[in-house]
Amino acid sequence: MNYDFIKRNPDFRLLVSYAETDQFSWLDFQLTPETKGGLFAEGARKAPSSCGV
């Protein structure tokens, strides 16, 4: 998460949260379309729990 951005734009702290993605590397800048889909799906599955729903 870019904490500098959140510090400068505090309203966004309510819209951004952290979701653990065990099988994906945040340093992989050459994701295949299939991997991007998997990362999106994992984020969608974990989104409700990361925002308290």
- Dump pLDDT digits (tens) for 1-34: 567 888 888 888 788 777 787 788 878 899 999 9
Enter the pTM of the model: 0.60
Give how far Cα 41 sits from Cα of 10, 24, 29, Å. 27, 12, 18
Question: In whole angstroms, what is the distance from residue 53 CA to residue 50 CA?
Answer: 8
pLDDT at 9: 87
Question: Which has more confidence, 40 or 3?
Answer: 40
pLDDT at 48: 78
Residues 6+ apart with CB under 8 A from 19: 42, 43, 46, 47, 50
Q: Does residue 44 carry a pLDDT above 90?
A: no
pLDDT at 26: 75
Q: Residue holding tokens 């309203």?
A: 11
